[in-house]
Amino acid sequence: MPPTPVIPPGADAATVKTILENYKALQQIAMEPYTAFFEMIVVKVLLPIFASILGYIFGSRSDSKEG
């Protein structure tokens, strides 16, 4: 993570806005690999597997009640 920016005393609003926008951009760039990893592993692999298991469990329960 990028270090928290130091806003100089007496800085005008435009300078502060620019400093904060740059900090947000750097923070987003630093977090990008982690969000890509989360999306790749959790959303595309684990979530469908978990949903399939739950579908099987609840689907087999309804079949056993009918039979």
Which residue's entry shows tokens 């298991």? 53
Tokens 């800085």 correspond to what residue?
Answer: 11
Asked if the model's pLDDT at residue 42 lies above 80, the reply is yes
* 19 burial level (CB within 10 Å; 0-12, 13-18, 19+): middle
Burial of 46 (0-12, 13-18, 19+ CB in 10 A): exposed
Write down the pTM of the prediction. 0.59
How high is the pLDDT of residue 60? Answer: 83
Look at residue 19 and tell me whether its pLDDT is greater than 60: yes
Give the pLDDT of residue 62: 65
Q: In whole angstroms, how large is the CA radius of gyration of the chain?
A: 24
